[in-house]
């Protein structure tokens, strides 16, 4: 791995194989002007190679485009800077450290296969098939067993195919303490038992295929939630569900897509559809309602009542999913209308309920769900943050897909931006992590004040009065993919400040409700893919995350999926999940008498109360 | 009610309003020649009215046709007889006495409606709908409650329609000890709860509509089992089920017909389809399998194994029946391939398990099922009697419908028959009760010998050699509805003797297996509609019923339907039914070492062993 030494900053760093020099610079917080997102067309990111061997595109004889530049040997690169003050921009990007939560889980899935050899009937003992089976099971200690009608219909043939030796698939439906025979196969088929774990996200569906004999991951995949065509966020989907057939359409689309993804997984793992024996899903309350075809409208109507907290197990046939008729779909329990199964599953996966450390669990998805607790207590709330951090309600906001600006810095002297896009494509818009960094950069460079208004006294070609008031031009149209300027308006800033204010007020109220303060937090867990991309410093700078020692922040990845998977592997984990849902006290923020005060106080950058953000205020 | 005095017999009898003189004569065993079945065309039933006022058709000035003759006042009627020996024909028809088994049943149906008033949700308590409901039920002592998916889907709207007051339909599925909420209706709907009891017969479907609040019968109806088009008896239906889609067709047809009949019941009772909350069915094992779409073929393949003894409850949606989706169908348990739910339900209705008297329960339907027992034990068997007693395998046999010869006597001197048909139509054939009486009459008059062969030495225009050997012409073609002679062949006689022999050997083996003899029987219960029509003397004469004091025979009616109804009314009765099925030991006759000997010995009229039939052998 070659190294690069950046001059005049005297900062040395290793270069990963897929990185260009501009990527490394962005990581280190070294500003290099860049307007095209790293695609190589704006010709602004010029750097001088003082020594070493490189590949890359030259510009103006002496320079290379940093966005094309890759070192072959160790290199020394000089970045042209306007003044020594540019060093002020040096702010190494810090991501939360990844934390893989591992625990020893004894493989004991809620569904299991059992090979049994019945004594074939004779004229002396022509006990009916069903009672022959039940009696055998009773002798092996299985009582309270039921057989669905569809399985009963198959029973006589299945028994006789291999001389009364069969493999039973037994599903122990924990919450109702009952064993259901979900399938009967001739002969010994014990080694073929698969489970599918699903994170049922508003935007994305993520799936894993698990071999339940060993708990081994066989394949994983993901795709957009096809309901997106009917509404980007949960609210617009609830609205769509009010239309005639709306709910039916939403339910069908996501089930169909799930089935296609399951087929993909099976193809990759070279396994058969009839080996899929169980599906475990975790999703927010709205997604779970829509998947099940349960009326969602009361979730958003006062007083926000879900249809259920613990969802009964639903079988493939009831969902019209072309898996085995009795394949159970188990759903992670919800706590409230806006604290759903993704959060309970997430808390399960986080292991925070097994440890003494007081932990704040934050899922910054379409909404912001937060949980505070440890092994002794759990308290949760939903912050009505809205979708701003996923690009919603932001003029040029977009989801984190190809062409989205994901990294931003602004030179404090020139006020010129450096942007990088996902996939190094021409910029289409800005996604969540870019939005946070942009807001933080605008604040750091003094382009905006503490209430989020552009400084009217600064004259700069990128700062102008647009149709919707003052705005900063991040990308001029000649460099954008849309042929339009990509701007960041005061409206956008206001929306973001409201969103982060809602989150921050949420932390405060939630902690206060259990007699704690932010300083008592020993750990902050960031869940969801978003948590891995946001820059910690930037997020703290704008007051989205609390100003705590950076080593208390951990990124846990897709805890919803991890939780859904744990439940597949262990009946005990399923019970633990249900206990978590039971234990989790929900605080209705909108109803809290102090909430408005805390929220109003958070509508500043980083916050009205300066002592809450000592590291930020010291800096500015 | 006027009286008639028959001369020269000096027998006086009351005449019911719907009776003609010939009906009364038949009842009393007074022979009057009659070939047209009572329709008034054969002109043979001439009688002289010696005094009194009558209505009727005259013939040859002095005589009336007895089949048209009705008394207005008391009358004296003279029957022309060939000789004083005709008195030998005097054998009063004796039916088994009807016994209505009544018991006090506390109304406690397995399904019941409960009105509940939930506290509507507030922002302080926005517990989800399902948990709000469960918590309320828990407080009222209902635990282990489950909600089917379809009910869950309706839950939020139903709750809100009348401000969180609802009526729940709770189904307590005894065998699995679990309560299912099968319906939720807004407001108070407790008074609308109906049950349907069904006797699922091979030939006939009989239904009753019951108001489950009071246990009151609202309406009843019956119709043929539409599966008849695909096979008259259980064996031919099992054969049809082997065809592609055969089983599906059989299942669908009977379900469709049942639904139509339920609609008829509701119309008659002026009640609504959504009030039907439960359906209780009792049928033989084959009919139950076919209704449920369960593979029937192993029922008739050695070693004769049913799919199930206790059938799980099946819901309307699983049967594609357009009732409420979760309306449960509960099925009376089977004991063996040929001792089904009609018999267990029948034994329940007979109350024989509550009394000390040793009782033989006989259901002479398509097959012959027999049970012996009392409060301490129950032993059952199926006799492979075949359908002869329903007209099957008899050249001119037919079911007991319009035009069937149901009563027969033969004059011992003239050897001329007296026949009466159902509905007084031209004769189409002979039904079960007619067949039994005919065989008994042929035996009594000496037209056949003890092995069932026609006496070759008797010359008579009705006795002849036909296509299939010797036969007796019961109706000449000019009097028949078919334009053909209606005859009774030696083949027919052989089939009947085999059938009655199978029954009789069955009684003997069954009794012997519990250390009893025929003489130990304190009661004989005849079940099924057939039991009410056969003539006791005739049935004993041919050896179909044992030769016991006639007052030990009781006719119980449709005990299958009565049992199905009891189960609707009382959870305890349902448990009792299951205990009966558990308690009933099944004896596989075909496998019994002595069966063949007993059977062979019974292939005589009335029996090889004369001492078994003292009253018959004394007579002949």
Nearest to B152 among A150, A312, A334 (CB): A312
Give the lowest-confidence range in B16-20, B381-385, B386-390. Answer: B386-390
Closest CA–CA distance from residue B272 to any residue of chain A (Å): 27
- pLDDT of A84: 58
Choosing from B28, B61, B92, the residue where a domain stops is B92
CATH code, B354 = 3.30.420.40
- pLDDT of B257: 98
The answer to whether residue B145 neighbours chain A at the CB level (below 8 Å) is no
CB spacing of A303 vs B126 below 8 angstroms: yes
Higher per-residue confidence, B81 vs A374 = A374
Is residue A48 predicted with pLDDT exceeding 70?
A: yes
What value does the mean pLDDT of chain A take? Answer: 93
Closest CA–CA distance from residue A303 to any residue of chain B (Å): 5
- pLDDT of B88: 53
Number of domain units in chain A: 3
Closest CA–CA distance from residue B180 to any residue of chain A (Å): 12
Phi-psi region of A155 (alpha: psi -120 to 50; beta: other; left: phi over 0): alpha
Let me know whether B117 and B154 are in one domain.
Answer: yes
- Band of pLDDT at residue A543, cut at 50, 70 and 90: very high
What value does the mean pLDDT of chain B take? Answer: 93
Averaged pLDDT, A597-613: 95
**Buried (b) or exposed (e) across A315-333, using 16+ Cβ within 10 A?**
bbbbbebebbbbbbbbbbb
The answer to whether residue A135 neighbours chain B at the CB level (below 8 Å) is no
Note the pLDDT tens digit of each residue in A385-425. Answer: 888 888 888 999 998 899 999 999 998 889 999 999 999 99
CATH code, B148 = 3.10.20.880
Is B371:B584 a contact under the CB 8 Å cutoff?
Answer: yes
Choosing from A186, A206, A234, the residue where a domain stops is A186
Is residue A110 predicted with pLDDT exceeding 60?
A: yes
Helical ranges in A542-584 per DSSP H: 559-569, 571-583
User: What pairs with residue A469 in β-bridges?
Assistant: A466
Averaged pLDDT, A47-60: 91
CB spacing of B312 vs A149 below 8 angstroms: yes
Nearest to A128 among B124, B127, B309 (CB): B309
Let me know whether B609 and B514 are in one domain.
Answer: yes
- Band of pLDDT at residue A28, cut at 50, 70 and 90: confident
The answer to whether residue A128 neighbours chain B at the CB level (below 8 Å) is yes
Give the lowest-confidence range in A18-32, A301-315, B213-227, B556-570. Answer: A18-32
Is residue A88 predicted with pLDDT exceeding 60?
A: no
Q: How far apart are CA B299 and CA B307, in angstroms?
A: 8
User: Quick check: helix, strand or coil at residue B95?
Assistant: coil
Nearest to B312 among A123, A146, A337 (CB): A146
Let me know whether B383 and B502 are in one domain.
Answer: yes
Q: How far apart are CA A305 and CA B159, in angstroms?
A: 12
Note the pLDDT tens digit of each residue in A483-537. Answer: 999 999 999 999 999 999 999 999 999 999 999 999 999 999 999 877 778 899 9
CB spacing of B126 vs A588 below 8 angstroms: yes
Let me know whether B88 and B133 are in one domain.
Answer: no
Chain A residues close to B306, C-beta within 8 Å: 128-129
> In 3-state terms, chain B is what percent helix, strand and coil (to 5)?
35, 25, 40
Chain A residues close to B293, C-beta within 8 Å: 153
Nearest residue on chain B to A303, alpha-carbon basis: B123
CB spacing of A130 vs B310 below 8 angstroms: yes
Q: What is the DSSP letter of B501?
A: H
Establish if B195 belongs to a structural domain. Answer: no
Give the lowest-confidence range in A163-167, A176-180, A213-217, B521-525. Answer: A176-180
- Band of pLDDT at residue B176, cut at 50, 70 and 90: low
Contacts of A233 (CB under 8 A, 6+ apart): A202, A366, A386, A387, A392
Choosing from B92, B119, B146, the residue where a domain stops is B92
CB spacing of A130 vs B295 below 8 angstroms: no
- pLDDT of B83: 60
Chain A, residues 45-84, CB within 8 A of chain B, namely: none
Is residue B534 predicted with pLDDT exceeding 60?
A: yes
Give the lowest-confidence range in A338-352, A485-499, B10-24. Answer: B10-24
Give the lowest-confidence range in B171-185, B311-325, B486-500. Answer: B171-185
Let me know whether B515 and B607 are in one domain.
Answer: yes
Chain A residues close to B127, C-beta within 8 Å: 305, 309
Note the pLDDT tens digit of each residue in B91-107. Answer: 677 888 889 898 999 99
- Band of pLDDT at residue A83, cut at 50, 70 and 90: low
CB contacts < 8 Å between A and B, how many? 131
Q: How far apart are CA B312 and CA B338, in angstroms?
A: 19
Is A587:A232 a contact under the CB 8 Å cutoff?
Answer: no
**Buried (b) or exposed (e) across B239-268, using 16+ Cβ within 10 A?**
bbbeeeebbebbbebbbebbbebbebbbee
- pLDDT of A384: 85
Phi-psi region of A27 (alpha: psi -120 to 50; beta: other; left: phi over 0): alpha
Is A64:A47 a contact under the CB 8 Å cutoff?
Answer: yes
Averaged pLDDT, B459-467: 94
Averaged pLDDT, B523-527: 96
The answer to whether residue B263 neighbours chain A at the CB level (below 8 Å) is no
Chain B, residues 590-619, CB within 8 A of chain A, namely: 590-591
Contacts of B412 (CB under 8 A, 6+ apart): B85, B86, B88, B89, B444, B445, B446
* Pair of tokens at residue B563: 């049992």
Let me know whether A29 and A69 are in one domain.
Answer: yes
Chain B residues close to A129, C-beta within 8 Å: 298, 305-308
Let me know whether B75 and B163 are in one domain.
Answer: no
Closest CA–CA distance from residue A191 to any residue of chain B (Å): 28
- pLDDT of A143: 83
Averaged pLDDT, B436-459: 95
Nearest to A591 among B123, B149, B312 (CB): B123
Is A380:A410 a contact under the CB 8 Å cutoff?
Answer: no
Averaged pLDDT, B18-30: 90
Chain B residues close to A293, C-beta within 8 Å: 153
CB spacing of B131 vs A314 below 8 angstroms: no
CB spacing of A129 vs B308 below 8 angstroms: yes
Establish if A335 belongs to a structural domain. Answer: no
- pLDDT of A89: 54
Is residue A95 predicted with pLDDT exceeding 70?
A: yes
- pLDDT of A483: 93
CB spacing of A130 vs B298 below 8 angstroms: no
User: What pairs with residue B5 in β-bridges?
Assistant: B12, B76
Note the pLDDT tens digit of each residue in A348-367. Answer: 999 999 999 999 999 987 77
CB spacing of B305 vs A157 below 8 angstroms: no
Nearest residue on chain A to B248, alpha-carbon basis: A153
Percent of chain B clearing pLDDT 90 (strictly above): 81
Q: How far apart are CA B500 and CA B515, in angstroms?
A: 23
Averaged pLDDT, A218-238: 94
Establish if A126 belongs to a structural domain. Answer: yes
- pLDDT of A295: 97
Let me know whether A22 and A121 are in one domain.
Answer: no
- pLDDT of A528: 85
Nearest residue on chain A to B587, alpha-carbon basis: A124
Note the pLDDT tens digit of each residue in B361-383. Answer: 999 877 799 999 999 999 999 99
The answer to whether residue B324 neighbours chain A at the CB level (below 8 Å) is no
Scanning the structure block, which residue is given the tokens 């040096």? Answer: A90
Nearest to B129 among A128, A308, A591 (CB): A308
Is residue A90 predicted with pLDDT exceeding 90?
A: no
* Pair of tokens at residue B321: 């029946």
Is B106:B426 a contact under the CB 8 Å cutoff?
Answer: no
Establish if B241 belongs to a structural domain. Answer: no
N-term to C-term CA, chain B: 36
- pLDDT of B560: 97
Let me know whether B592 and B506 are in one domain.
Answer: yes
Is residue B264 predicted with pLDDT exceeding 70?
A: yes
Q: In a mutagenesis test of the B interface, which of A288, A293, A308, A328 is the best target, namely the one with the most B β-carbons within 10 Å?
A: A308
Nearest residue on chain A to B179, alpha-carbon basis: A176
Chain B, residues 563-592, CB within 8 A of chain A, namely: 588, 590-591
Let me know whether B85 and B172 are in one domain.
Answer: no
Averaged pLDDT, B524-536: 87
Nearest to A298 among B156, B305, B588 (CB): B156
Let me know whether A81 and A13 are in one domain.
Answer: yes
- pLDDT of A420: 92
Nearest residue on chain B to A304, alpha-carbon basis: B126
Averaged pLDDT, A163-192: 92
Let me know whether B136 and B43 are in one domain.
Answer: no
Q: In a mutagenesis test of the B interface, which of A149, A241, A319 is the best target, namely the one with the most B β-carbons within 10 Å?
A: A149
- Band of pLDDT at residue B163, cut at 50, 70 and 90: very high
Establish if A241 belongs to a structural domain. Answer: no
Nearest residue on chain B to A314, alpha-carbon basis: B149
Closest CA–CA distance from residue A126 to any residue of chain B (Å): 5
User: What pairs with residue A112 in β-bridges?
Assistant: A170
Give the lowest-confidence range in A95-104, A340-349, A428-437. Answer: A95-104
The answer to whether residue A118 neighbours chain B at the CB level (below 8 Å) is no
Nearest to A130 among B153, B308, B336 (CB): B308
Domain of B55 in residue numbering reads as: 1-92
Establish if A68 belongs to a structural domain. Answer: yes
Establish if B220 belongs to a structural domain. Answer: no
Q: How far apart are CA A546 and CA A539, in angstroms?
A: 9
* Strands laid side by side in the B523-527 sheet: B97-98, B553-557, B523-527, B359-364, B368-373, B378-383, B584-586
CATH code, A58 = 3.10.20.30
Is B574:B564 a contact under the CB 8 Å cutoff?
Answer: no
Establish if A36 belongs to a structural domain. Answer: yes
Contacts of B597 (CB under 8 A, 6+ apart): none
Phi-psi region of B191 (alpha: psi -120 to 50; beta: other; left: phi over 0): alpha
Percent of chain B clearing pLDDT 70 (strictly above): 97
CB spacing of B121 vs A306 below 8 angstroms: no
């Amino acid at each position: 791995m070659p190294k690069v030494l950046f001059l005049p900053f005297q900062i040395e760093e290793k270069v990963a194989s897929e990185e260009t020099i501009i990527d490394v610079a962005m990581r280190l917080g070294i500003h290099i002007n860049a307007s095209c997102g790293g695609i190589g067309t704006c010709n602004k990111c010029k750097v001088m190679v003082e020594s070493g061997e490189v590949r890359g595109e030259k510009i103006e004889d002496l320079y290379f485009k940093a966005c094309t530049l890759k070192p072959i040997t160790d290199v020394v690169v000089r970045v042209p800077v306007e003044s020594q003050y540019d060093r002020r921009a040096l702010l190494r990007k810090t991501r939360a450290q990844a934390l893989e939560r591992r625990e020893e889980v004894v493989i004991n899935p809620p569904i299991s296969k059992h090979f049994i050899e019945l004594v074939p009937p004779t004229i002396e003992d022509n006990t009916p098939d069903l009672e022959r089976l039940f009696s055998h099971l009773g002798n092996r200690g299985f009582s309270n067993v039921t057989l669905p009608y569809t399985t009963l219909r198959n029973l006589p043939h299945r028994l006789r195919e291999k001389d009364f030796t069969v493999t039973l698939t037994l599903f122990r439906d924990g919450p109702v303490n009952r064993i259901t025979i979900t399938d009967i196969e001739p002969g010994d088929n014990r080694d073929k038992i698969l489970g599918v774990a699903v994170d049922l996200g508003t935007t994305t569906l993520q799936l894993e295929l698990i071999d339940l004999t060993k708990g081994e991951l066989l394949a994983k995949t993901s795709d957009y939630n096809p309901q997106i065509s009917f509404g980007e966020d949960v609210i617009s989907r609830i609205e769509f569900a009010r239309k005639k057939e709306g709910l039916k359409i939403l339910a069908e689309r996501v089930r169909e897509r799930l089935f296609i993804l399951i087929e993909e997984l099976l193809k990759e793992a070279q396994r058969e559809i009839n080996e899929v024996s169980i599906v475990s899903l975790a999703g927010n309350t709205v997604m779970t309602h829509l998947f099940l075809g349960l009326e969602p409208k009361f979730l958003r109507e006062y007083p926000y009542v879900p249809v259920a907290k613990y969802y009964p197990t639903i079988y493939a046939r009831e969902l019209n999913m072309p898996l085995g008729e009795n394949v159970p779909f188990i759903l992670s329990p919800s706590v409230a209308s806006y604290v759903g199964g993704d959060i309970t599953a997430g808390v399960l996966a986080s292991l925070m309920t097994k440890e003494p450390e007081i932990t704040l669990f934050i899922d910054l998805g379409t909404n912001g769900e937060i949980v505070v607790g440890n092994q002794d207590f759990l308290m949760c709330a939903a912050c009505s943050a809205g979708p701003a951090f996923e690009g919603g309600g932001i003029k040029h906001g977009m989801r984190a897909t190809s062409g989205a600006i994901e990294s931003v810095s602004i030179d404090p002297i020139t006020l010129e931006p450096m942007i990088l896009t996902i996939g190094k494509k021409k910029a289409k818009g800005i996604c969540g992590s870019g939005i946070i960094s942009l807001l933080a950069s605008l604040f750091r460079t003094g382009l905006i004040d503490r209430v989020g208004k552009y400084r009217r006294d600064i004259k700069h070609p990128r700062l102008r009065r647009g149709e919707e008031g003052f705005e900063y031009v991040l990308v001029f149209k000649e460099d954008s993919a849309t042929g339009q300027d990509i701007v960041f308006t005061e409206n956008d800033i206001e929306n973001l400040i409201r969103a982060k204010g809602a989150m921050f007020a949420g932390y405060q109220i939630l902690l206060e409700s259990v007699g704690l303060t932010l300083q008592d937090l020993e750990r902050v867990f960031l869940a969801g893919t978003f948590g891995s991309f946001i820059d910690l410093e930037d997020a703290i700078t704008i007051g989205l995350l609390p100003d705590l020692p950076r080593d208390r922040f951990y990124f846990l990845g897709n805890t919803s999926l991890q939780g859904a998977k744990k439940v597949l592997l262990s009946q005990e984990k399923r019970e633990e999940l249900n206990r978590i849902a039971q234990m989790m006290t929900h605080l209705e923020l909108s109803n809290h008498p102090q909430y408005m005060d805390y929220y109003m106080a958070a509508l500043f950058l980083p916050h009205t109360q300066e002592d809450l953000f000592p590291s930020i205020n010291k800096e500015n």
